[in-house]
Every structure is written in structure tokens, then in C-alpha cells.
Amino acid sequence: MTDRDLTHEEMLEIAAQREKENEEVTKPKSLGTSLEQWWDSEAHRQLQESSKASVQKAVGKYHMLSEEDKYDMVQAICHIMCEAEKKGTSHRGLQDALGLYPQAFWILELMDVHNALWRYYHDKKQEEELEKDIETLQDFTET
């Protein structure tokens, strides 16, 4: 069927429908709507399944290590992470310290660990600074 086979009314209806579709495509979406569409998408479900499979594979590899290798791995990872977090590193900096940037971005629990360690060392640093300030004030008032 060509445009010449359509009536004037049909062509107007098609034009109106195309205009409406174009408005929907170009219409800005709110962040919530966009996220909701992503969470409901097949791509998100596939990403979740892939992530679960990756975790299971990594845990399986860990359990296959000898006791000595497990000890060494845990000791090394804890040391690297705590040293980086004591310096106040970012999530990306932690990934870099582990030698896994940017691949470690997909390790979901790494952000949780980073946030917990960052808060611990941040709070500890604030306590130390407060104690120094109190000590300085005490020294100042005594003189």
C-alpha cells in the first residue's frame, strides 16, 4: 500500500499516531520511572543471574584452596583493604589497591565492605583528632 492508496483522514491519523509515538520516545523520564523499567527488564534479570553465578564460582574456587592458601588470601585481602581504607581511599581507590580496577566494580559486596571500613576509619580518625584538640585546649588553659 502506498501513500496514494490512503485517504486523507487515514494519512492524518497515521501522522498523529507517529507524532504521539515520537513524543513518547523523546519525552524525558523521571529517574524513578527509568530505574523501574530497568529493574523490570530482561537485561536486569540476566545481570542478576550472571552475578549469582559469578559469586558461586568464586566461592567454589575459594573452598578448593588449601587451608594455607585460604589463610594467605584472607590475610592479604584484609591487609590490603585495611591499609587502603586507613588512608581514606574511595571505592575506586580500593578496587585499584586490590589490583582489580575496573573489574571489581561488579563485586557488589565490595561497596558494602568499603563503606563499613571507611566509616570505621573515618570515625576513628575523628576521635583521635578530638582527643588531640581536647589535649591542646587543656594545655592552653593550664598555661
For the stretch 47-64, pLDDT in tens is 888 888 988 999 999 999
pTM of the model: 0.60
Looking at per-residue pLDDT, the higher value among 16 and 112 belongs to 112
Name every residue whose Cβ is closer than 8 Å to that of residue 116 and which is 6 or more positions away in sequence.
none
Q: Are 88 and 98 in contact (CB under 8 A)?
A: no
Res 141 pLDDT > 90: no
Highest mean pLDDT among 49-53, 76-80, 99-103, 108-112: 76-80
Q: Are 73 and 80 in contact (CB under 8 A)?
A: no
pLDDT given at position 69: 97
Res 7 pLDDT > 60: yes
- Candidate from 7-16, 63-72, 126-135 with smallest mean pLDDT: 7-16
Largest Cα–Cα distance in the chain? 101
Cis peptide before 28 (omega within 30 of 0): no
Q: In whole angstroms, give the CA distance from residue 110 to residue 96.
A: 12
For the stretch 11-70, pLDDT in tens is 778 888 888 777 766 666 677 787 788 788 888 888 888 888 988 999 999 999 999 999
pLDDT given at position 70: 96
Collapsing DSSP to helix, strand or coil, 65 comes out as coil
